[in-house]
């Protein structure tokens, strides 16, 4: 140590301050690791008298022959920042745990290392104790959740998959009841020990609750973990006698995979595994019940069915919306459920002289009928009772009721007991039995109720929620599975709603959400939660499905002051969400209404144009050229419409309107006839000319297009080989056997079939393999950025090669610049179409440009 250094660190004031601090501080030379200064507190803790001048790792550690591997100096030097490094050390010399803060300091042109550490041994021990389950000595819920969060973050950084397992001990309550809680504790420890054995170095597990445990496997797939869990269960079966397990399977489990980028909450991840565990547990109980029945047979002894009368009655009344009653016919004392007491203002659950009391609540028009029927029961003239009448509830409303009952006689044949149920017909059909939600009638009633009572709320949000492409789920599996998806969806959405919102089942796959006191921002928050929950593939009963949601949202009183007006606005907004891409929510605005009114008006104008001999419709032609030479091969016929009121309307706007209303069938025939006639004319100048004509899916499903095509070609004396019929990949992907046969019929008469917009559909390769097409038109979106985007170029080249291998030609759309053309020219496709070679033009301009009139 130089004299200058010693002077620096022996400063009386500095030493006095640092020596009084209840912390460990020392300073070292960066190059030699020599200790330049150490405060008295640290010297005392490590038993050192004069450590200055000695190498730190020689006097502060045990069994170390070089700089410690965990030393932060290298990290601090790499960071080249004044910020420090915080870490925790288990010291090999003292056996204590230290929370350390290391940093670099500069003095007189040199840099030194300084460490400030605090002994946290006792705190760490207490902290670990707070995170450890006492019974199983593994992490508890708190510690497990912390570790789970760390693992998810690490896996995301390292791009690793995680598999989360949730398991639950079977029959633990029965073990506790039969053998005592010590036996139950032993079972918990045993299962924890055998499941712990299948954990790897990066895996861990924790006790979530009483008999539930979570296991996390790092970098291991679901299939691998499944095999591990099966081995654990096999081990448990082999250990049954030794451990004292008198049933087959000690636990049920479910699992879910967590991929990098999964934004689900940890609760949602565990909930996914819980759903799978529930399926396994349900199957376990069914098998166990059947086994028990086969072993013991069916007993009819009443001794096996013992219960407390009060408990029995309470269970019955709380399990139904009907009012269950029982009456002593000899005393006239009846008992009614609490719900009925509250609904009709009864003096209590037990009512003396019940018939007379009820008589005061019965509608005057029904009173005689009611009293007569009850008297017949009281006199013993009838044993059964089934009547409908109106009674006044506490709100003064007349409610239709249906009372059904059975009278039981004593040994002498006199009326002794009268019991039955009263159904509130005002609540009939208010519950959707599939989902358990209130239905559309209750939805309407609740909205109207709140609209009348302005004092209760001053703002109401109304959301209509619809499942996107739900039909695909029914088609992929079956309607019963679709019903289960609706039920699960109802449960999930209900659990996400705030206290002031309520979910209803409307029609089909539509749900309604009533949000009291909610504004536009509240509605967006609700939908965002729903959207996040449904943005990934889901699984039920081993079947995977994908289903997003679209919604429309409207607000009272801003958008309307009555139910029908609000419902209309919400539905318009939902319609807009569907039209603009789905998986989104649209808040109602005047623009939405204006857009819908425009669509309705355009529809009528379209209808008028068609009825007037397709007035305003023309056909433009866009060239298709040879990729290598740029020579014209043919053209695509594209419909254009000039509206008498709004001028030129985009095909993207008027074609969907025509398809939605069936008018595309008429226009499609007109387009085919004129485009085919134009093709016949141009073939006179270019014999190999080929015309591509778009075909709507509606024309295939609802029209007799193929006979019309054949008749038209025959009438024009045009060979079918000059015509290509184009359908988009999105339509072709969902083609059924009938549609596929129609495509084959077209090919049989010589017409070629092209798949348009390839690459944007959800099942592109499936379509390529299974749909009988001759030409694949790659969507122009893959041309954008092709000069710099290696993926797009690779995609085009690969699809082209694949198409050629299976005998299909390729046309690339959307080539707009010379740079793009030069980038794709060598990728192998037969033809190219795009603005670079020509924009769609009328027949006169087109034939002049390409010499088709000479």
Mapped to the 3 state alphabet, what secondary structure does 554-623 carry? EEECCCCCCHHHHHHHHHHHHHHHHHCCCCCEEECCHHHHHHHHHHHHHHHHHHHHHHCCCCCEEEEEEE
Whether 130 shows a pLDDT value over 80: the answer reads: no
pLDDT in tens, 749-762: 999 999 988 876 54
**Model confidence band, residue 428 (pLDDT cutoffs 50, 70, 90):** low
- Give dist(CA 753, CA 743) in Å, integer: 7
Beta bridge partners of 619: 639
Query: Which region among 39-43, 148-152, 735-739 has the lowest average model confidence (pLDDT)?
Result: 735-739
Q: What mean pLDDT comes out for the span 130-143?
A: 86
Whether 297 shows a pLDDT value over 60: the answer reads: no
Residue 835: its pLDDT value, please?
94
Q: What is the DSSP secondary-structure string of 515-534?
A: EET--HHHHHHHHHHHHHHT
Whether 763 shows a pLDDT value over 50: the answer reads: no
Q: What mean pLDDT comes out for the span 314-330?
A: 84
Query: Which region among 91-100, 114-123, 126-135 has the lowest average model confidence (pLDDT)?
Result: 126-135
Dihedral (CA of 212, 217, 221, 223) sign: negative
Beta bridge partners of 99: 88, 118
Query: Which region among 31-35, 53-57, 314-318 has the lowest average model confidence (pLDDT)?
Result: 314-318
Comparing 437 with 501, the larger pLDDT belongs to 501
Q: What mean pLDDT comes out for the span 221-249?
A: 80
Residue 762: its pLDDT value, please?
47
Comparing 90 with 17, the larger pLDDT belongs to 90
- Give dist(CA 295, CA 460) in Å, integer: 59
pLDDT in tens, 377-391: 887 778 888 887 888
Residue 1: its pLDDT value, please?
52
Dihedral (CA of 662, 666, 669, 672) sign: negative
Structure tokens at 460: 């109401």
Residue 573: its pLDDT value, please?
93
**Residues 13 and 5: beta-carbon distance below 8 Å:** no
pLDDT in tens, 187-221: 888 899 999 999 988 899 999 988 899 999 999 98
pLDDT in tens, 348-361: 999 888 877 888 88
**Main-chain phi, psi angles of 627, to 5 degrees:** -60, -45
Collapse the DSSP code of 250 into the 3-class scheme (helix H, G, I; strand E, B; otherwise coil) and give the result: coil
Write out 395-427 in H/E/C secondary structure.
Answer: CCCEEEEEEEEEEEECCCCCEEEEEEEEEEHHH
Query: Which region among 150-159, 186-195, 316-325 has the lowest average model confidence (pLDDT)?
Result: 316-325
Q: Which of 338-347, 538-547, 757-766 has the highest mean pLDDT?
A: 338-347
Would you call the peptide bond into 557 cis, given omega within 30 degrees of 0 as the criterion? yes
Residue 501: its pLDDT value, please?
92
Structure tokens at 242: 């030794």
- Give dist(CA 670, CA 614) in Å, integer: 8
Residue 3: its pLDDT value, please?
59
Comparing 124 with 440, the larger pLDDT belongs to 440
CA dihedral 128, 131, 132, 134 (to 10 degrees): 110
Which is nearest to 763 in space by CA: 609, 546, 567?
546
End-to-end Cα, the chain, rounded Å? 102
Whether 714 shows a pLDDT value over 90: the answer reads: yes
Q: How many CB atoms lie within 10 A of CB 235?
A: 14
Helices assigned H by DSSP within 161-308: 172-179, 181-196, 222-238, 240-243, 266-296
**Main-chain phi, psi angles of 213, to 5 degrees:** -130, 150
Q: What is the DSSP secondary-structure string of 165-205?
A: EEEEETTHHHHHHHH-HHHHHHHHHHHHHHHHTT--TT-EE
Q: What mean pLDDT comes out for the span 178-188?
A: 85
Whether 241 shows a pLDDT value over 80: the answer reads: no
**Average pLDDT over all residues of the chain:** 86
Whether 112 shows a pLDDT value over 60: the answer reads: yes
Whether 826 shows a pLDDT value over 70: the answer reads: yes
- Give dist(CA 804, CA 201) in Å, integer: 49
> How many angstroms from the chain centroid is the CA of residue 620?
44
> How many angstroms from the chain centroid is the CA of residue 323?
39
Whether 764 shows a pLDDT value over 60: the answer reads: no
The reported pTM is 0.48
Whether 8 shows a pLDDT value over 60: the answer reads: no
Question: Which domains are delineated in the chain?
Answer: 3-124 (3.30.450.20), 132-290 (3.30.70.270), 309-426 (3.30.450.20), 440-588 (3.30.70.270), 603-850 (3.20.20.450)
Comparing 286 with 740, the larger pLDDT belongs to 740
What b/e readout covers 722-741, taking b as 16+ CB neighbours within 10 angstroms?
A: bbbbbbbbebbbbbeeebee
Q: What percent of the chain has pLDDT over 70?
A: 91
Q: What mean pLDDT comes out for the span 734-738?
A: 74
Query: Which region among 567-571, 657-661, 715-719, 832-836 has the lowest average model confidence (pLDDT)?
Result: 657-661
Residue that is written with structure tokens 């355009």 in the block: 602
Residue 682: its pLDDT value, please?
95
Pairing mode, if any, of strands 752-758 and 723-728? parallel
CA distances in angstroms from 719 to 198, 479, 528, 709, listed in the order given: 70, 46, 55, 11
Q: What mean pLDDT comes out for the span 606-626?
A: 94
CA distances in angstroms from 320 to 258, 311, 402, 406, listed in the order given: 40, 15, 15, 18
- Give dist(CA 402, CA 778) in Å, integer: 66
Residue 795: its pLDDT value, please?
86
Query: Which region among 219-228, 451-460, 521-530, 568-577 has the lowest average model confidence (pLDDT)?
Result: 451-460
- Give dist(CA 819, CA 787) in Å, integer: 7
């Amino acid at each position: 140590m130089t004299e200058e250094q010693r002077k620096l660190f022996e400063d009386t004031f500095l030493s006095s301050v640092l020596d009084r601090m209840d912390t460990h501080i020392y300073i070292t030379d960066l190059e030699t690791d020599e200790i330049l200064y150490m405060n008295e507190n640290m010297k005392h803790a490590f038993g050192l008298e004069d450590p200055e001048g000695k190498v730190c790792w020689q006097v502060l550690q045990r069994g170390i022959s070089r700089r410690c591997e965990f030393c932060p100096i290298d990290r601090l030097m790499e960071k080249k920042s004044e910020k420090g490094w915080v870490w925790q050390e288990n010291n090999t010399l003292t056996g204590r745990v230290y929370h350390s803060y290391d940093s670099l300091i500069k003095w007189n042109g040199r840099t030194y290392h300084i460490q400030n550490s605090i002994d946290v041994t006792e705190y760490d021990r207490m902290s670990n104790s707070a995170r450890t389950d006492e019974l199983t000595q593994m992490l508890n819920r708190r510690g497990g959740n912390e570790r789970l969060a760390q693992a998810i973050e690490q896996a995301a950084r390292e791009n690793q998959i995680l598999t989360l397992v949730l398991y639950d001990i079977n029959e633990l309550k029965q073990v506790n009841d039969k053998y005592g809680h010590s036996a139950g504790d032993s079972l918990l420890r045993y299962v924890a020990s055998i499941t712990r054995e299948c954990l790897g170095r990066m895996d861990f597990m924790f006790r979530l609750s009483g008999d539930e445990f979570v296991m996390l496997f790092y970098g291991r797939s679901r299939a691998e973990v499944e095999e591990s869990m099966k081995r654990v269960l096999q081990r448990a079966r082999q250990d049954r006698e030794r451990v004292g397990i008198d049933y087959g399977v000690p636990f049920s489990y479910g699992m879910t995979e967590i991929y990098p980028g999964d934004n689900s909450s940890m609760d949602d991840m565990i909930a996914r595994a819980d759903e799978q565990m529930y399926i396994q547990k349900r199957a376990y109980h069914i098998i166990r019940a059947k086994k028990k029945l086969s072993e013991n047979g069916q007993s009819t002894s009443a001794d096996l069915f013992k219960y407390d009368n009060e408990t029995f009655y309470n269970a019955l009344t709380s399990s139904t919306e009907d009012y269950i009653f029982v009456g002593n016919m000899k005393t006239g004392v009846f008992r009614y459920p609490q719900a009925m007491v509250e609904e009709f203002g009864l003096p209590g659950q037990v009512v003396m002289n019940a018939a007379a009391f009820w008589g005061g609540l019965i509608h005057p028009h029904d009173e005689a009928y009611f009293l007569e029927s009850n008297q017949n029961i009281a006199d013993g003239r009838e044993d059964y009772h089934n009547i409908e009448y109106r009674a006044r509830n506490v709100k003064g409303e007349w409610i239709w009721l249906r009372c059904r009952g059975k009278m039981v006689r004593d040994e002498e044949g006199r009326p002794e007991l009268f019991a039955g149920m009263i159904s509130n017909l005002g609540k009939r059909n208010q519950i959707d039995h599939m989902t358990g939600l209130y239905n559309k009638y209750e939805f309407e009633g609740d909205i109207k109720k709140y609209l009348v009572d302005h004092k209760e709320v001053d703002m109401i949000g109304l959301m209509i929620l619809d499942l996107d492409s739900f039909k695909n789920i029914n088609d992929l599996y079956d309607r019963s599975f679709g019903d289960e998806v609706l039920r699960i969806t109802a449960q999930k959405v209900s659990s996400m709603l705030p206290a002031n919102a309520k979910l209803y089942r409307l029609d089909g796959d539509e749900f309604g959400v009533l949000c009291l006191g909610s504004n536009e921002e509240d509605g967006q928050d609700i939908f965002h939660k729903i959207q996040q929950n449904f943005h990934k593939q889901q699984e039920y009963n081993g079947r995977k499905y994908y289903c997003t949601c679209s919604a429309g949202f409207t607000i009272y009183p801003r958008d309307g002051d009555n139910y029908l007006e609000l419902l209309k606005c919400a539905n318009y907004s939902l319609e807009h969400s569907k039209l603009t891409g789905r998986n989104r929510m649209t808040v109602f605005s005047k623009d939405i209404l204006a857009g819908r009114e425009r669509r309705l008006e355009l529809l009528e104008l379209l209808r008028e144009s068609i009825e007037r001999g397709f007035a305003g419709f023309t056909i433009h032609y866009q060239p298709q050229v040879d990729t290598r030479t740029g020579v014209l091969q043919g053209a695509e016929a594209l419909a254009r419409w000039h509206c008498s009121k709004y001028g030129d309307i985009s095909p993207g706007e008027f074609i969907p309107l025509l398809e939605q209303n069936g008018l595309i069938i008429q226009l499609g025939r007109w387009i085919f006839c004129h485009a085919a006639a134009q093709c016949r004319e141009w073939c006179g100048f270019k014999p190999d000319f080929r015309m591509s004509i778009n075909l709507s899916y509606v024309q295939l499903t609802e029209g007799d297009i193929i006979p019309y095509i054949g008749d038209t070609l025959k009438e024009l004396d045009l060979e079918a080989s000059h015509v290509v019929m184009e359908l988009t990949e999105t339509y072709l992907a969902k083609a059924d056997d009938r549609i596929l046969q129609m495509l084959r019929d077209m090919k049989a008469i010589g017409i070629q079939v092209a798949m348009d917009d390839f690459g944007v559909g959800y099942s592109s390769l499936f379509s390529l393999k299974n749909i009988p097409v001759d030409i694949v038109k790659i969507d122009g979106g893959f041309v954008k950025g092709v000069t710099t985007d290696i993926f797009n170029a690779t995609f085009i080249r690969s699809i082209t090669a694949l198409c050629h291998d299976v005998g299909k030609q390729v046309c690339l759309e959307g080539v707009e610049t010379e740079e793009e053309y030069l980038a794709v020219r060598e990728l192998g496709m037969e033809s190219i179409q795009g603005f670079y070679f020509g924009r769609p033009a009328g027949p006169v301009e087109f034939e002049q440009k390409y010499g088709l009139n000479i």
